[in-house]
Amino acid sequence: MEQHSELRKNIGFSVATSIVIGTVIGSGIFMKPGIILSSAGNSKMAMLAWIIGGIITLASGLTISEISVKIPKTGGLYAYLETVYGKLWGFLCGWIQSLIYAPAVIGALGLYFGSIFADLFGIEQHNKIWIGIMVVLFLTILNLLGTKYGGFIQIGSTIGKMVPIFLIAIFGLWKGNGNILMQESGVAADHISMGAAVLATLWAYDGWINVGFMAGEMKNPSKTLPKAIISGILFVMFAYIAVNAALFHVLSGKQIVHLGANSASYASQILFGPVGSKLITIGILISIFGCLNGKLLTFPRIPYAMAESKLVPASRFISWVHPKSKTPVGATVLVVIISLILMLCWDPDRLSNIAIFSVFTFYGLAFFALFILRKRDPDNGRNLYKVPLYPVTPIIAILGVIYIVGSTLIDSPKDTILSIICTIIGLPVYKFMIKRNHTASLPVVSAIQEKTTEQ
């Protein structure tokens, strides 16, 4: 543990793109259509909400791509903020991601997997927590064996989750006879909110930024990362819009709202018979499994990057990289332990609400950082990736963040207060670590001065 060990650079374009797709497409594509339709009022506005959410996400991805090229470091968002705004903001971002965001997302996905798995095989629902814990531990062990194993799972599960998506999209558009853009939700006008519909799509699109956490392990991050982010987001947009169009072609708007999370399963049963429901359920499990693997593959790189800078307690353990597998063992163990505690204490929906607010404020700071980086370093003619339609693209991304944060403050004030409190707690921890690091460096400085004096 005392020997410094570098992470292995063995991630290429295919694995990086699969991480983007795998960490975005989880259960949202199957669970959200009914919620978005009921908020939008009709299928035309619901489809528009998915497109708007995709445009905001694409603008965010294009913006972060340029930042990732300028700052190709392991740690992603944490590394970006530390480089641009200083160690304090980088620490607070990494602190919240390590303490709340990452464990909450992993815990929620584990619990969702456990609940669906238990329902599929007729297992009593009180066992869903233990099923979720087992799948989290299983994927943790595989990822600790080496990034190539996690990468194989990511590519395989990404391909696997595409099967039910393509089946529903292709056969739904082929065999359905409904008017895609003329389906009414049946929801009263006073309950319709286009803002709420777009917000729901943005939650479904979240997760694409996680691939930036692994830039330091990519063979050529300046080329690989932008391509992976952009291609991954475009693929997800296409998948979301295609599946929703197919659902509107097969089911009525009122059916989709009434069925809610079961609408995709019901549409599959109509298209493929009784086996269809089982098929789509397995597809959802594969989707969540791959998404969870992507989180476990990427999230530990945040506390690892912080520990490398000695900004967290027990930095020696958290920054420990296995000498053979070259994986961040200490950071992974830390994130998983917190995740398991949250799984035992809270429900997945609550964890999801807390996670989304805790990180989006820092997203906004990262998007604004592009303006600062452009001013500091105009590239001087270097052939580097630049975000198209600057400054419109990063402005769209920033407006999207403002909307998400504002909506969450109004809809879930208790969860936002918890996130704010945890952020404030990070301030004394940061001051303590800076003071301890300064104190630890004094003997070294004194020894150097004494040696210089003797000479």
CB burial of 413-424 (b: ≥16 within 10 Å; e: otherwise) equals eebbebbeebbe
Kind and range of the H or E element at 286?
Answer: helix 274-298
Retrieve residue 234's tokens: 């475009």
* Average pLDDT estimate for 124-146: 89
How far from the centroid of its chain's Cα atoms is residue 89's Cα? Answer: 20
CATH number of the domain at 13-438, please?
A: 1.20.1740.10
Structure confidence by residue, pLDDT tens digits, 184-195: 887 776 678 787
Half-sphere exposure at residue 379, Cβ-oriented, CA atoms within 13 angstroms? 15
Q: What is the pTM of this model?
A: 0.77
User: Across-strand partners of 11?
Assistant: 218
Distance CA 250, CA 71 (A): 46
pLDDT at 338: 94
Name which of 60, 53, 365 is nearest 199 in CA terms. 53
Distance CA 232, CA 244 (A): 19
Domain coordinates in residue numbering, the chain: 13-438
Q: Say yes or no to pLDDT of 309 above 60.
A: yes
Distance CA 10, CA 220 (A): 10
Q: Say yes or no to pLDDT of 289 above 80.
A: yes
pLDDT at 4: 41
Question: Using H for helix, E for strand and C for coil, what is the string for 348-407?
Answer: HHHHHHHHHHHHHHHHHHHHHHHHHHHHHCCCCCCCCCCCCCCCHHHHHHHHHHHHHHHH
Angle (nearest 5°) at CA 388 between 385 and 391: 115
Q: Of 41-45, 259-263, 292-296, where does mean pLDDT reach its minimum? A: 259-263
Name which of 39, 68, 74 is nearest 53 in CA terms. 39
